[in-house]
Structure 1
Amino acid sequence: MDRLKESVNRQKTDTVSGPTALPDLPDEQRRRAFDGLRARTPSPELETRARAGLEKAREGVATEREAMARRMAQALGLDAPGVMPLAQAGPSPAAKGWVPVLFASSSMPVAVLRTYAGQLEKAGGAMAFRGMPGGLTHVAPMAKLSAQILRVDPGCEGPACAMRDVQIIVDPLVFRQHGVTRVPALAMIPGDPAQPYCERDDNTPVSPHVIYGDAALSGMLGEYARLGGRQEVRDAAARLENR
């Protein structure tokens, strides 16, 4: 035991600490270092590789969407065209301006979700869910719910059923960006609400207002306009009224 104590004490006294300050370099050496940094030129090859990597990532996202669509089709017995709009999540004609996005939940009655889908189709909007029933690894429950929401005829079964032209997106990020904690809720999002995660940043624009309440889409748009968003809802409200 005494030998162990002596060894520990010796190690403590022999410990060498590292430098606590930067070395004092000559002015000439410092100037050369900063001149070297300023003289560095961008590498076209590196920029080309970065752009190629970004393009590859975008292609990967598209491939994953297509694979998800096929899995949905297999789970429901639908042809791929019946579910491709869900996977592609391509921007609607209104996506260049302000798009009405209804925040929803699988706990809401299907009849209510179907009613909103019919109104969103007229207004050129989208329906957003925070997650999938049963988790992101279980596609079939969300595929079934999506088909129930989008079928024009609720009694129709099979691949020949007509589907509403409404984007259904599963995006926890858009819920967090807008601070949505209860549904239904309405936001007016500029651009494409289904933009992939890899293409977003902290400066992605969000809706200036969020409207809560179990009301018709027209009423929610009206409340949004009353809060100062008349310009944002103008086109969506006109489409909803004219169709």
Structure 2
Amino acid sequence: MVEAAKAKRSPGPDSTFDFDQMLANAGTMASENIGKAPRFIAFASTSMPPAALRTMIDNVVRAGGVVVFRGLPQNSAKALSAALAKVAKPGEQLDGVGIDPRLFRAFGIQAVPAYVVTSSDFDLCDGFDCAGPLPPHDRMIGNVTAGHALETFARGGGPGALLAAQHLARLERASQ
């Protein structure tokens, strides 16, 4: 479900963002019977402060979700890698991070950070102008933590409440 441009060459040892690995991991990012497609999605931008982006990536991945970017800044994989290098530790691969403009379009995300938890798996429309049906979901936009978003969804009783509670429990276990 998460797409990216393939790198023209293999990443070096100092590379932070491995496009080939991201594609290989796209189908297996959600686990523990949480679903086949990612259902906890955080929407991000390289324009976010590096510390905030780092915290988002850490918490969302620990919770079993994915962090997506709309596209390549300045249409450059190199620019994305450079931006992500500011948030990664030396030699670290940022797993659970992808690019998928379809998710931004499908959920109407115009500002970041934003969080979505869906109630079920879904398929995205592949065209640029098409829109497919989305499952019931909870959505929050604003400068909040992943934990706050998940707790709010879980307590709110909306369509993503049960799954949000599962992701929140996973985040809390990983943080101990």
TM-score (normalised: structure 2): 0.75
1:103 to 36, 43, 53: 43
Structure 1 residue 239 and structure 2 residue 175: aligned? no
Of 28, 32, 43 in structure 2, the residue corresponding to residue 91 of structure 1 is 28
Contact between 2:140 and 2:149, CA under 8 Å: does it hold in 1? yes
Q: Give 1:219 deviation, angstroms.
A: 0.4
Gaps of 5+ in 1: 1-63
1:83 Cα shift? Answer: 4.8
Higher relative contact order by CA 8 Å / sep ≥ 6: 1 or 2? 2
User: Counterpart of 1:127?
Assistant: 67
Contact 2:41–2:115 under 8 Å retained in 1: yes
Partner of 1:173: 102
**Percent identity among equivalent residues?**
27
Give the CA deviation at 1:106.
1.4
Q: CA deviation at 1:234?
A: 2.0
Shift of 1:72: 6.8
RMSD across aligned C-alpha pairs, in angstroms? 3.1
| Deviations 1:140-181 (CA, angstroms, capped at 9, x unpaired) | 1112233444x3x2xx2xxxx233432x22222211111111
- Which residue is 1:140 aligned to? 78
Aligned to 2:121: 191
> Structure 1 counterpart of 2:108, which letter?
G
Q: Check 1:143–1:98 CA distance in 2 against 1; reply closer, same or farther (3 A cut).
A: closer
Residue ranges of structure 2 left out of the alignment (5+ in a row):
none
Q: Number of paired residues?
A: 163
Rg comparison, structure with higher value: 1
